[in-house]
Amino acid sequence: MADASLQRPEGTAEDWTIPQDWDRYSPAEHAMWDHLFERQAGMLPARVVPEFMEGLKVLRMTRPGIPHFDELSERLMKATGWQVVAVPGLVPESVFFDHLANRRFVAGRFIRTPEQRDYLQEPDIFHDVFGHVPLLANPVFADYMQAYGKGGLRAHGFGSLDSLARLYWYTVEFGLIRQGDALKLYGAGIVSSYGESIFALDDPSPNRLGFDLERVMRTHYRIDDYQQTYFVIDSFEDLLRQTVETDFAPLYPRLRNEPELATDAVLPSDRVYTHGTQAHARAKSAR
Ligand code: PHE
Ligand code: FE
C-alpha cells in the first residue's frame, strides 16, 4: 500500500498514476492471471463472503485475461462511484490516502512471474485487483474504504499512522466475517493467497478473535508469514459503526499510553472463536 520514503519515478503523473498499458501484457502474463484466477475461483465460493462473489460477477471479472482498468472503473463507477488507477508500486502514504478519500483504488499493473506464483513481497495486479476490487462494488464496504482514506489523512496529521495501519491490516487485508455459525473470508491478502485462504479458516494454529477497534489498533502484525491472529467482524455494517462513526482524535493519545499487543496475544476480554495452538508459527521459527 504505502511508504513514506519514496521518490516519484519519472513518467508518473503528479498523483503517481501511470497508464495501465493493457496492450503490453504478453500471452504468458494473461495465462498467469487465468491460472491464479482458476485456482482461487474454484475454492473460494464456499469460503468467501458472498458479496465478494457478487462483485466478481457485477464487474465481469469472471472472463479470462487480465482485467482492463478502464472497464473495471466504468462498472465500478456505476455500482459505487469507485475507480481503479495504476501506479508503479508502493506510493507515499498521503498519496495512497488521498486516492482512497476520492474513491480511487490504486493498483499495481505488473503480474508475478512463474517463480513468484506462491509468494511475492510486493503486491501485484492479482493481489490488488482480484483481492481488493470485488468488494469495492459493495456499497457498505466502498464507504468504509473511502472513510479509511479520509481517516488516514487525519491520522497522518496526528502522527498516528501506525495504529491506523493495523486497522487496515486486520480488516481490509486479513479480515474474517461471521455468517451465522460460520466464519468467512473477506480480507484481500487472504483471498488472493491459495495457502492462506485455507489456513485462515481451517488451521488450528491461528487465533480467531472478535473484532474490537482499540484492541486491533494495539496489535502488531506479521508481514513475513501467515497471520497468528485474525479478527472477525459481525458484518460490514458493524465495521462501519465501529470505525466511521467513531472520532479517532481522542483515541490516538489514549492508545499511545497503552501497551502494544503481540501478534499471538489472547486477552481475558477477547471474544474467542479459536484460541490457536500457534503450531504453524512455532514450526516456522524452529526452522
Ligand atoms: N472515524 C475515523 C476518524 O475519526 C476515520 C476512519 C473511518 C478511520 C473508517 C478508519 C476507518 O479519524
Ligand atoms: Fe493489499
Band of residue 287 on the pLDDT scale cut at 50, 70, 90: low
**Domain count within the chain:** 1
Instruction: Read off the pLDDT of each residue in 57-74 and give the average, rounded to a whole number.
Output: 97
Digit-coded pLDDT (tens) for 171-215:
999 999 999 999 999 999 999 999 999 999 999 999 999 999 999
* Radius of gyration in angstroms for the set of CA atoms belonging to the chain, rounded to a whole number: 18
Whole-angstrom Cα distance, residue 58 to residue 82? 13
Q: Which residue lies with its CA nearest to atom 11 of ligand 1? A: 148
User: Nearest to residue 172, comparing CAs of 130, 135, 123, 223?
Assistant: 135
Q: Ligand 1: does its nearest atom lie under 6 Å from the Cβ of 117?
A: no
- Closest ligand by atom to 164 CA: 1
Q: How far is the CA of 105 from the centre of ligand 1 (A)?
A: 17
pLDDT value at position 4?
Answer: 63
Quote the domain boundaries for residue 139: 22-286
Pocket test for ligand 1, best of 96, 214, 236, 246 (most atoms within 8 A of CB): 246
pLDDT value at position 121?
Answer: 78
Domain harbouring 230, CATH code: 1.10.800.10
3 assigned to some structural domain: no
9 assigned to some structural domain: no
- Closest ligand by atom to 248 CA: 1
Q: How far is the CA of 210 from the centre of ligand 2 (A)?
A: 22
Digit-coded pLDDT (tens) for 210-229:
999 999 999 999 998 999 99
ipTM score = 0.93
Indicate if the pLDDT at residue 1 is higher than 70. no
Question: Strand 229-233 and strand 207-210: pairing?
Answer: parallel
Whole-angstrom Cα distance, residue 62 to residue 58? 9
Q: How far is the CA of 176 from the centre of ligand 1 (A)?
A: 20
Q: How far is the CA of 110 from the centre of ligand 2 (A)?
A: 14
pLDDT value at position 135?
Answer: 98
Which atom of ligand 1 is nearest to 150's Cα?
5
Instruction: Read off the pLDDT of each residue in 70-84 and give the average, rounded to a whole number.
Output: 98
Q: Which residue lies with its CA nearest to atom 6 of ligand 1? A: 151
1 assigned to some structural domain: no
Q: How far is the CA of 238 from the centre of ligand 1 (A)?
A: 14
100 assigned to some structural domain: yes
Digit-coded pLDDT (tens) for 15-45:
999 999 999 999 999 999 999 999 999 999 9
Band of residue 2 on the pLDDT scale cut at 50, 70, 90: low
The overall average pLDDT reported for the chain is 95
118 assigned to some structural domain: yes
Pocket test for ligand 1, best of 160, 243, 251 (most atoms within 8 A of CB): 243
171 assigned to some structural domain: yes
Higher pLDDT, 3 or 214: 214
12 assigned to some structural domain: no
Q: Ligand 1: does its nearest atom lie under 6 Å from the Cβ of 151?
A: yes
76 assigned to some structural domain: yes
